[in-house]
Amino acid sequence: MVSRTRHLSHVPLIAQAERHGARTAVVDSQGSFTYNDLLDASSRVATALLAGREDLQEQRVAFLLTPGFAWVAVQRGIWRAGGVAVPLPLNSTRSELEYFIDDTQTSTLMFDAAAETQLAPIAEVRHIRALRYDQVLAGQAAELPDVASERRAMILYTSGTTNRPKGVVTTHANIAAQIMCLVEAWEWSADDRILLCLPLHHVHGIVNVVACALWSGATCEALPRFDASAVWERIAGSALTLFMAVPTIYVKLIAAWDAAPPARRAVLSQACAKLRLMVSGSAALPVSTLERWKEISGHTLLERYGMTEIGMALSNPFRGGRVPGSVGTPLPSVEVQLIGENGLPVAPGTPGEIEVRGPSVFAEYWAKPEATRDAFRDGWFRTGDTAVIENGVYRILGRTNIDILKTGGHKGSALEIEETLREHPAVAECAVVGVPDLEWGERVAAAVVLNDGGALDLPSLRAWAKEFLAAYKLPSRLLVLDALPRNAMGKVMKPAIKAMF
């Protein structure tokens, strides 16, 4: 017989919500909601999902809702019913949604009115139970099962920048560990207020923003989607204390600031200065963007390193000096090592693959035991990212198989070359890849987006770059694009760029 209780102290985020009661948890376009509201709504969601059963026993429930209170209530409701939450990406094609639903063998789909036309037909064809959030709320809450923290809680899909996305399974204990190390390192408190403008199908938005806020008794303001004007309005008109975003968002905020009248710029800059922390992650932050944002806001953006499988692993300090272009040192409870091609730890100053160990590391790739086995070495997760320790801090050199170029017997970092090329007066954005070559192994190939009125050809780029880069790092192929292909988190899709060459 399953133990049944109204309160789920074994699910850490639910236990935390019970402590915060009448404090404001979420603010969205529909209003302001307390932690008690969240507990009530999530219990109604859980009761509807159970439909008289005692426990979902880790059945997968996929859901698609506009970011806000309803999204959070559904995720918590799935957990309280003993299910595994599968957040679906907004703006996905039908085939993409079908892939996630089929891969996880979803038993129930939940959605709001905006997503009904997308998901209801998929549910009907597959004979999957479909529930609409507003209809679920009309029901009464019943007693709920007790769920152990070691059970599976969520499946998030990898970015798919290198291959077909894999489902990353985390337990309730994994998620709690990911949250607690950030709450400690970044000194979260119940007095904090953060703005959500990131998609809710990745760790950045789900854990770093929403979960850390709700763990701490803080308030999360949720925008339905990113909009530069709306973000600036919230920064200027709200009591925000933290802001977290990807580099492309900061680039767009800078452009919006530049376009504003001088008086408005002054107001926005003064508002930024009141925040205690601004963070950038999910993709490499160009030093030029960091420097420009500091000029505008007074903040040196805190750069950190993480991924779907591990949450966050490395971070610049909240207090103390931050090194531009670095991602700091290991977070609390996280162990990190750099391993060379011989399988042994490398000396300081020598590049190696990042391996991570600790309670925040994921449990498995969903239904892929071989991929799970191959991802670990002696209990350490092999990230596939290469880094180097310089002056005691980690600097990311890029994906081992994508950003580490092997040309003419030399190894070079695509990220380092990109950082240099961005300094060219004609270049707005760039991405560097290695193109297979019989003579050199790989040729350095650069895809660039030009500033308005800019012009660039390969000979002039090479002539300019040779003042800053070794000969083997100079691009030998050039492609001028209107925009770089990116995924939902702003990461450049380098396989797509490689295919263009």
Q: Which pLDDT score, from 0 to 100, does residue 489 have? A: 67
Question: Using an 8 Å Cβ cutoff, are 157 and 168 in contact?
Answer: yes
Confidence (pLDDT) at 413: 84
User: Distance between terminal CA atoms of the chain?
Assistant: 61
pLDDT value for 400: 81
Tell me what the mean pLDDT of segment 333-358 comes to: 95
Lowest mean pLDDT among 69-83, 316-330, 344-358, 474-488: 474-488
pLDDT confidence bin for 323, thresholds 50/70/90: very high
State both tokens at 184. 């400690």
pLDDT of residue 160: 57
Q: Which residue has the tokens 């709001």?
A: 112
What is the C-alpha to C-alpha distance for residues 501 and 499, in angstroms, rounded to an integer?
Answer: 5
Report the chain's mean pLDDT, rounded to a whole number. Answer: 93
Collapsed DSSP state (helix, strand, coil) of residue 354: strand
Q: Which of 303, 315, 280, 311 is nearest to 381 (CA)?
A: 311
- Which phi and psi (to 5°) does residue 399 adopt? -65, 130
What's the rounded mean pLDDT across residues 240-255? 95
Structure confidence at residue 141 as a pLDDT band (50, 70, 90):
confident
Q: What is the pLDDT of residue 145?
A: 95
Distance of alpha carbon 13 from alpha carbon 98, whole angstroms: 29
CA distances from 45 to 78, 79, 147, 324, 363 (A): 7, 10, 16, 44, 26
Burial (0-12, 13-18, 19+ Cβ within 10 Å), 386: buried
The answer to whether the CB of 88 falls within 8 A of the CB of 63 is yes
Minimum mean pLDDT among 7-21, 23-37, 212-226, 310-324: which range? 7-21
Give the Cα separation of 160 and 225 in Å (integer).
Answer: 21
pLDDT reported for residue 4 = 39
Q: Structure pTM?
A: 0.88
Instruction: Compute the 3-state secondary structure of the chain and give helix, strand, coil in percent, each to the nearest 5.
Output: 35, 30, 40
State the pLDDT at residue 3.
Answer: 37
Tell whether the model's pLDDT for residue 273 goes beyond 60: yes
pLDDT(472) > 70? yes
- Say if residues 131 and 77 touch (Cβ distance below 8 Å): no
162-181: b (≥16 Cβ within 10 Å) or e: eeebbbbbbbbbbbbbbbbb
Provide mean pLDDT across the span 41-61: 97
Least confident piece of the model among 62-76, 289-303, 449-463 = 449-463
Q: Does residue 380 have a pLDDT over 50?
A: yes
Task: List pLDDT tens digits, range 107-138.
Answer: 999 999 999 999 999 999 999 999 999 999 98
Q: Is residue 455 pLDDT above 50, yes or no? A: yes
Measured in whole angstroms, the distance separating CA 97 from the mean position of its chain's CA atoms is: 19
Q: Which pLDDT band holds residue 103 (cuts at 50, 70, 90)?
A: very high
Q: Output the pLDDT for position 70.
A: 98
Least confident of 157-171, 350-364, 437-451: 157-171
Which residues make beta-bridge pairs with 345? 339
Q: Interior CA angle at 327 toward 325 and 331, to 5°?
A: 170
Burial 284-297 (b: 16+ CB within 10 A, else e): bbbeebbebbeebb
- pLDDT at residue 6, as a whole number: 45
Q: What is the pLDDT of residue 5?
A: 40
Q: How many CB atoms lie within 10 A of CB 390?
A: 13
Flag whether pLDDT at 20 surpasses 60: yes
407 pLDDT higher than 50: yes
Average pLDDT estimate for 423-430: 92
Cα angle value 490/492/497 (rounded, 5°)? 155
465: burial class by Cβ within 10 Å (0-12, 13-18, 19+)?
Answer: buried
pLDDT at 28 over 50: yes
Which domains are assigned to the chain?
4-148 (3.40.50.980), 186-300 (3.40.50.980), 404-500 (3.30.300.30)
